[in-house]
Amino acid sequence: MKKYIIFILIAILGLTLAQTFKAIPFGADRRGDLENPDKVAAYYLKESPETLQTANSITAIVVNFRGFDTLGEVTVLFLAATGLASILYRKEEEDEEEVERVRLPSSSLVRTGAKILFPLMLLLGIYVFVHGHLTPGGGFQGGAIIATGFLLMLITYKHFETNHKVMVWLESLAGLAFVAVGLYGLFAYGSFLQNTHSVGTLNDLISGGLIPLIYIFIGIKVGTELTNILDILLKIKKS
């Protein structure tokens, strides 16, 4: 009986997928034009500056039109970081007494350069995700730049430490804030991650409604998660 039920479920799933793919106009021109924006690409290009007041159409697609997809990507990154941390878990006292960071000896020139570049890289990362709705870039790129700045310090200075508790709190709060913005759209406008009607003026820093806030939360979350992963991977037990 169990085999028949499984067969029926698979048949239903296969039929549903077949009907779905049959309805997709593969090979059809879906670009459209701005005068007749009834197709996907033209709709995005028209609605991004006019309705959302977002100069960067890619940003509007990533965190508004396809906000669920971005939420899924952030979730996958969180699960990857959690899985890696659980695999490489060490007790706190073990970290202090039996673990050291892997690094090659660095010269005074490298150490001086790292001190100069580190705050500039943090500033650049913040700039990238704060201005993600206006210029190329965004939360993932800005977060990666910030994590690269911490990586520079971690491999240059053996005793440079990141505050894991602060990192975890920032990561958790950024993730919760992302979900809270989504719920705000659901309760205020009837759709999860729906943008606010007060979107501002095109090309202004305060524009795009909730889109800049979402990118800020993503940038903080990505930056802290990647930094924690790098810090864990660069530590080994003392021989």
For residue 151, what pLDDT is reported?
Answer: 92
Torsions phi, psi for 224 (to 5 deg): -70, -40
pLDDT of 190 above 60: yes
- Give percent of the chain above pLDDT 90: 15
- The identity of residue 23, as a single letter, is A
Confidence of residue 35 (pLDDT cuts 50, 70, 90): low
- Are the CB atoms for 35 and 46 separated by under 8 Å? no
Mean pLDDT for the stretch of residues 130-147: 88
142 neighbors 219 (Cβ within 8 angstroms): yes
- pTM of the model as a whole: 0.72
Q: Which pLDDT tens digit goes with each residue over 197-206? A: 677 777 788 8
Mean pLDDT of the region 14-38: 72
pLDDT at position 215, please? Answer: 87
Token pair recorded at residue 32: 């459209």
DSSP per-residue string spanning 4-58: HHHHHHHHHHHHHHHHHHHHS-TT-----BTTB--SHHHHHHHHHHHTS--S-HH
Residue among 103, 116, 108, 117 nearest 149 (CA): 117
- The H-or-E segment that residue 101 falls in is strand 99-101
Strand partners, 200: 207
End-to-end CA distance of the chain: 58
What pLDDT is stored for residue 211 in this prediction? 84
User: What pLDDT is stored for residue 165 in this prediction?
Assistant: 84
pLDDT-based confidence at residue 146 (cuts at 50, 70, 90) = very high
- 236 φ/ψ sector (left φ>0, alpha ψ -120 to 50, else beta): beta
> What mean pLDDT do residues 64-79 have?
80
pLDDT score, position 36: 62
pLDDT at 131 over 70: yes
Contact 202, 49 (CB under 8 A): yes
Say what the pLDDT of residue 128 is. Answer: 92
Residue 86 CA to residue 228 CA, distance in Å, equals 12
Instruction: Taking residues 84-111, report their average pLDDT.
Output: 65
Q: Round the average pLDDT of the chain to a whole number and report it.
A: 80
Beta bridge partners of 99: 237
- Check pLDDT > 90 for residue 147: yes
**What pLDDT sits at residue 34?**
58
Would you say residue 27 has pLDDT above 80?
no
